[in-house]
Amino acid sequence: MPIALKASACWQHSSPPPKLDRAFRSAADALGTLEQLKEDKIGLHMIDLGGDVTGNGISKLVFTILSAVAENERDRIRERVRDTKRHRVTQRLYNGGKRPFGFDVVGERPDLRLVPNINEQAALARARALRDGGKSYRHIADAWVSELGLPRFDAKSIQRILGRD
């Protein structure tokens, strides 16, 4: 019979759960789940912690401390990833995903770079000038088609593109 842990993880009761840092979203989630399992008289065996962590006060203390440490490590990883992506942006390196309007992606992995696309940069400059003149996003879309020969964009897309600056 599967044991579901509040959308955090799911596994068969005959096999141990994944590592502590993968089984729960946060230390609070881990403790809440542990209390719910104890109320339901279900034991939680964690390989990392050497067995059942619902059994006594010492195992709960260790579980609580390690849950907090795991949450902190996830936060540190998230910060390092965010900082790395920000650094790559300052270096005009491509982080993946959809190509940003106004740039082309050139080079070889892992050194893909963003280089300005002259036509799209001109379209951005024209759009900013039109917005400064009080024109609507629909008017900008029409101007891009008629003046610059770009494909039609809807007003919401143009608003998003201009909002990225």
Measured distance CA(26)–CA(30) in Å, rounded: 6
- Alpha carbon distance 84, 106 (integer Å): 20
The DSSP code for 151 is P
pLDDT score recorded for residue 121? 94
Q: pLDDT at position 145, please?
A: 92
Pick from 141, 145, 143, 147: nearest CA to 160: 141
Mean pLDDT over the full length of the chain: 81
Boundaries of every domain in the chain = 2-90, 92-165
Report the pLDDT value the prediction gives residue 6, as an integer from 0 to 100.
37
CA distances from 113 to 92, 118, 165 (A): 6, 15, 18
Does the pLDDT of residue 78 top 80, yes or no?
Answer: yes
Residue type present at position 24:
F
Residue 45, classed as helix, strand or coil, is strand
Which of 23-27, 67-71, 112-116, 148-152 bottoms out in mean pLDDT, i.e. has the lowest? 23-27
pTM over 0.85: no
Phi-psi region of 27 (alpha: psi -120 to 50; beta: other; left: phi over 0): alpha
3-state secondary structure of 38: helix
CA dihedral 114, 118, 123, 128 (to 10 degrees): 70
Alpha-carbon Rg of the chain, whole angstroms?
26
